[in-house]
A and B are shown apart, each in its own frame.
Chain A
Amino acid sequence: AQSVTQLDSQVPVFEEAPVELRCNYSSSVSVYLFWYVQYPNQGLQLLLKYLSGSTLVKGINGFEAEFNKSQTSFHLRKPSVHISDTAEYFCAVRKVAGNKLTFGGGTRVLVKP
């Protein structure tokens, strides 16, 4: 079975500062990796995904993530955050041959002016 750990439950950050959200996973088989964002009372929106190839993945809204197989990590970064980036962020994995997403516990990002 897979598991996903998001090491920080909450990350306060000032506007225009960089942010990194950490995600580590555990799986005995190959997986796809995803980052989603959830705004209050809404569903999830895909930020980016890693399927194969280049380990640096660029997503929407200026976010990027790096897949590190040896450290089983998929950390999300943004060099300069906006107030509008205040949201909940979820890391998720799915077995390449599977169907179900396994989510981490989420990281709440609060961007302060």
Chain B
Amino acid sequence: GAVVSQHPSRVICKSGTSVKIECRSLDFQATTMFWYRQFPKQSLMLMATSNEGSKATYEQGVEKDKFLINHASLTLSTLTVTSAHPEDSSFYICSARGTGGGTEAFFGQGTRLTVV
């Protein structure tokens, strides 16, 4: 199957700083990328959907200014958590779907963010 690489896998940052998470599709072009947040022992919560070259669509309750999403190319999307606070600590996962409207989305390995 197709490979989605997410980096970093773990990051610790200080309160008030910003942190960027990258999501790359390695062997296919991803027209659509999705960003999820997962709390311990819970399911995935969709934060936003991004299409290459256009603004991301955020789910209700997700702060656009706090979680900046950029999808500048067909192989790269980034999520920047701005002015991070301890309550932003979570597991963030991206997924990507290819061109041609394929049925399957492929997932990255996830990023464990800890804000101290």
Contacts and interface: CB of A to CB of B under 8 A. Distances in A.
Nearest to A104: B43
B98 interface: no
Given A43-B110, A49-B104, A105-B42, A99 B49 contact: yes
A43 B6 contact: yes
Given A41-B112, A46-B104, A103 B44 contact: yes
Interface in B49-92: 49, 91
Contacts of A94: 103
A90 B43 contact: yes
Interface in B81-116: 91, 93, 95, 97, 103-110, 112
Contacts of A63: none
A61 interface: no
Contacts of B44: 44, 90, 103
Interface residues of A, number: 21
Chain B, interface SS category: strand
A101 interface: yes
A51 interface: yes
Interface string A98-110: 0111011110100
Contact of B109 (A43, A46, A104): A43
Given A43-B6, A106-B42, A49 B109 contact: no
A13 B30 CA distance: 38
Q: Which 7 A-B pairs have the closest CB atoms?
A: A43-B107, A44-B107, A43-B109, A43-B110, A103-B43, A105-B43, A43-B108
Interface of A: 32, 34, 36, 41-46, 49, 51, 90, 94, 99-101, 103-106, 108
Interface of B: 1, 4, 6, 9, 32, 34, 41-44, 46, 49, 91, 93, 95, 97, 103-110, 112
12 contacts: A32-B103, A41-B9, A41-B110, A41-B112, A43-B107, A43-B110, A44-B95, A51-B103, A101-B46, A101-B105, A106-B41, A106-B43
